[in-house]
Amino acid sequence: MSLSFEGRVVLVTGAGGGLGREYALAFAERGASVVVNDLGADTKGGGKSSAAADKVVEEIRAKGGKAVANYDSVEDGEKLIQAALDTFGRIDVVVNNAGILRDRSFARTSDLDWDLIHRVHLRGSFLVTRAAWNHMKNQKFGRIIMTASAAGIYGNFGQANYSAAKLGMLGLSNTLAIEGKKYNIYCNTIAPVAGSRLTETVMPPDLVASLKPEYVAPMVLWLCHEQCQENGGLFEVGAGWIGKLRWERSQGRTVRQKNQPMTPEAVRDQWDKICDFTDATKPNSIQESLQSVVSELSRVESEGEVGANPTAALASAASASGINPAEAVGQKIPATTFDFSHVQCILYALGVGMSTQDPDHLRFLYENHPDFGALPTFGVIPSQAAMMEGGLSSVPGLNIDLTRVLHGEQYLELFKPLPTSGKLISQATVADVLDKGSGALILLDVNTYHGDELICFNQFSVFVVGAGGFGGKRASEKAKAALPPPNRAPDAVVIDSTTKDQAALYRLSGDWNPLHIDPDFAAMGGFKAPILHGLCSFGFAARHVLKHFAANDPSRFKAIKVRFVKPVQPGQSLQTEMWKEGNRIHIQCKVKETDAVVLSGAYVDLHGAPEASPENLPQGAGLQSELVFAEIGRRIKDLGSELVKKVNAVFGWEITKDGKSSAEWTIDLKNGTGSLHKGPYSGKADVTFTVSDEDFMEVVQGKLNPQKAFFSGKLKVRGNIMLSQKLEVILKDYAKL
């Protein structure tokens, strides 16, 4: 289907000659009613004549087209739009094309040279477009073109005034694209190259002749057609060739360390890295641009481990390490199938220390028990094949030495209780590869399906000793973070013994690494004797939580995260310490005999505690912020649907006390009529704030400005930082509290 402009009214500024004339003719030929604007000035903006516009209108009419002339300067923007409304009754398309030149070397540029250029190009485009804006908004259709120039994009000798104005038009276009989007008003920018009276002084005559305006016009027509969904783009166009431009940003470098001043020397020393475009990113919104700055800010504050500047030795290790994140991230490992029956479920339960001596355990050990089920942490078993069978080292960009691999952390989330038999398919993807200096950290995300149904998600954090220093990033948004326990005595402690054969039993569930059974192999790894599987201690700790806080009901189990710190010898006793914080149970696991911490930063999330309503909010946590959240809960109850309409976002809050995470809240103003609950959001919150209890109160009481809190590092923000502005809607009435 050819692109028709029947019924559309198009204004082309500066259409008395050159490119503008060509646009006007082309629009008219396809049925548009065209306002042919031209002041009839000379190339420097002097003089005035109606002849140029009249001639183009005559040409259009001679071919049976509809056109009217307008002789006003674009500096009278309203008049141009009025001409369209008076003659044709509407305005659909504005092509800001009028232009002049006053080239001078910079030192000789006069005020007039500067101002005239800005008035015609930048201010003229602003005035004409503003006059059209509300009409476009009301009719929910508009297409706008800004005409920039290569001189603006790249700079050009003698065109300081012109290049500044031209790139100003790109900035204008970028914002109009955002503001107009929801009204179906799209704005794009072109940097044309064409032979015209503006270029005949700088280009050889035969080039001027061959760079025809008709090799540009079809691009403008496409961008202005209702079918075209391009918005906020920048294009170079000439001689029939069209290319799109975008921003590229280097990975960059943080040159600051926690609690230390930032210095120009640090900037100098990192200069090559700052300017290195290897693995460059292409942010395309202010959110994307800010996000990395903000996440870097919170990373510096939380980790304080920035600026580990790769030395020459490390850099050469990089090429030897065989790690290439750009190649590896996103790679999938061939899917694995896990075919099982109740036998594997029971074997696993025995492997993690369940015993018929405990009557509670029978439901996991006896297939005819009325409540027979799989332990929730059995969910790691089907997914581990992806790791076991050397899948990782076959991934392009992950040329790693499997003998140097350590299992660093594990996250498991269940989307429904596990089946007790059947066929499960696991699909693993390399989610990220981080450079931790002394090693590489690989995040492997594994989704496990039963038929079409997603049953569980695992994230393996695999540390490859000695494979760091390849110059990659040090933190990832994709990582499921370990969290420290609250700073108080645990709410519950369970001590449980492992048997001398615990590892021999656990390995039958599928982890056949000889490290856990073969004394010679263990000795080669530097261990006195074979060690227990980290995931076995993980199973112990998880069932301690399940028993203590969820009455052994597997359907209450949502997720678990642990960090493996030290090995356990089979036969040692495990001491699981637990802290209840709403639906989250923080855990730490020690070897009782040595008091060594073996699992840290761990937690289990449970389902099923009732929604936090003001009546049943936990009182004991001793946080002042609890009161405010109770009030927010009340407010959501009263005004939920209104707030959902206004805000439409999920806010996560992490409240810290004495530097440790103490409470998490989710304010959901996106789903249903809104809700508040204590604990993290089940999906990904749109924005998450981390702030201390004290600073939270200061902000709420209006004593601390949120922006100040953010820039001083007191308030950390992850996700869409722009949503912070909507917080006011939720918090504004609390100053009274």
By CB under 6 A, the residues from 81 to 100 that bind ligand NAI are: 97-100
Which residues, in sequence order, are bridge partners of residue 244?
Answer: 235
Q: Are strands 142-147 and 185-193 parallel, antiparallel or unpaired?
A: parallel
52 scored as a contact of ligand NAI (CB under 6 A): yes
Which residue, 47 or 304, has its beta carbon nearer to ligand NAI? 47
CB 211 to ligand NAI: min, Å: 7
Q: How far is CA 164 from CA 117, 175, 249, 543, in A?
A: 9, 17, 22, 66
Indicate the residue among 73 and 656 with the shorter CB distance to ligand NAI: 73
Residue 624 as a binder of ligand NAI (CB under 6 A): the answer is no
Q: Is 666 helix (H, G, I), strand (E, B) or coil?
A: strand
Of the candidate spans 13-21, 220-228, 449-457, 571-579, the one that interacts with ligand NAI by CB under 6 A turns out to be: 13-21
Question: And the tokens for 283?
Answer: 């942010």
| Closer residue to ligand NAI, CB minimum distance, 100 or 545 | 100
Number of residues that bind ligand NAI (CB under 6 A): 34
* Chain centroid, CA 447 distance in Å: 21
Rule CB under 6 A: choose which of 10, 23, 43, 531 binds ligand NAI: 43
Could you give the angle at the alpha carbon of 350 between the alpha carbons of 344 and 354, nearest 5°? 135
Work out the angle at residue 497's Cα, subtended by the Cα atoms of residues 493 and 500, and round it to the nearest 5 degrees: 160
Tell me whether strands 66-70 and 33-37 are parallel, antiparallel or unpaired: parallel
Stretch that binds ligand NAI, among 12-20, 445-453, 600-608, 646-654 (CB under 6 A): 12-20
Q: Answer yes or no: are the C-beta atoms of 77 and 131 closer than 8 Å.
A: yes
Which residue from 33, 109, 125, 147 is in contact with ligand NAI, where contact means CB under 6 A? 147
Interface segment toward ligand NAI; rule CB under 6 A; list 41-49, 315-323, 529-537, 721-729: 41-49
CA 335, 339, 345, 348 dihedral sign is negative
Pairing of strands 597-606, 675-678: unpaired
Beta bridge partner(s), residue 409: 461, 563
Q: How far apart are the C-alpha atoms of 539 and 142, rounded to whole Å?
A: 60
> Among 187-195, 390-398, 607-615, 646-654, which window interacts with ligand NAI (CB under 6 A)?
187-195
3-state secondary structure of 628: helix
Write the DSSP symbol of residue 480.
Answer: P
HSE (side-chain half, CA atoms, 13 Å) at 534: 23
Q: Please, which residues have CB within 8 angstroms of residue 732's CB and are 6 or more apart in sequence? A: none
Q: How far apart are CA 346 and CA 417, in angstroms?
A: 15
| Shortest distance, position 735 Cβ to ligand NAI, whole Å | 52
Chosen residue from 19, 177, 405, 585 binding ligand NAI by CB under 6 A:
19
Kindly tell me which of 209 and 315 has the beta carbon lying closer to ligand NAI: 209
- Residue 685: which H helix or E strand, with range? none
The CB-of-256 to ligand NAI minimum distance in angstroms stands at 41
Q: Tell me whether residue 171 or residue 334 sits nearer to ligand NAI (CB atom).
A: 171
Contact between 502 and ligand NAI per CB under 6 A: no
Q: Can residue 170 be called a binding residue for ligand NAI (CB under 6 A)?
A: no
Q: Which residues pair with 96 in a beta bridge?
A: 146
Cβ proximity to ligand NAI: between 145 and 699 the closer is 145
Question: Shortest Cβ distance from residue 688 to ligand NAI (Å)?
Answer: 45
Asked if 149 is part of the footprint of ligand NAI (rule: CB under 6 A), the reply reads: yes
**x/- string (CB under 6 A) for ligand NAI, residues 580-619?**
----------------------------------------
Determine if 647 is a binding residue for ligand NAI (CB under 6 A): no
State the nearest-atom distance from the C-beta of 137 to ligand NAI, in Å. 24
Contact between 73 and ligand NAI per CB under 6 A: yes
Determine if 20 is a binding residue for ligand NAI (CB under 6 A).
yes
The H helix count followed by the E strand count for the chain is: 25, 23
Structure tokens at 146: 């800004």
Per-residue b/e over 600-630, b at no fewer than 16 CB within 10 Å? bbbbbbbeebeebeeeebeeebebebbebbb
- Shortest distance (Å) from residue 31 CB to ligand NAI: 23
Give the whole-angstrom CA distance, residue 651 versus residue 639: 17
Residue 149 or residue 410: which is nearer to ligand NAI going by CB?
A: 149
* Of positions 14, 77, 142, 567, contacts ligand NAI by CB under 6 A: 14
Q: Which residues in the 341-370 window bind ligand NAI by CB under 6 A?
A: none
| 512 phi and psi angles, rounded to 5 deg | -90, 10
If binding is defined by CB under 6 A, does position 16 make contact with ligand NAI?
yes
Q: Which of 74, 482, 604, 699 binds ligand NAI (CB under 6 A)?
A: 74
Q: Does 38 bind ligand NAI (CB under 6 A)?
A: yes
CA angle 229, 234, 240 (to 5 degrees): 90
Active site residues: 162
Contact footprint for ligand NAI (CB under 6 A): 13-14, 16-20, 37-41, 43, 45, 52, 73-75, 97-100, 120, 124, 147, 149, 191-194, 196-199
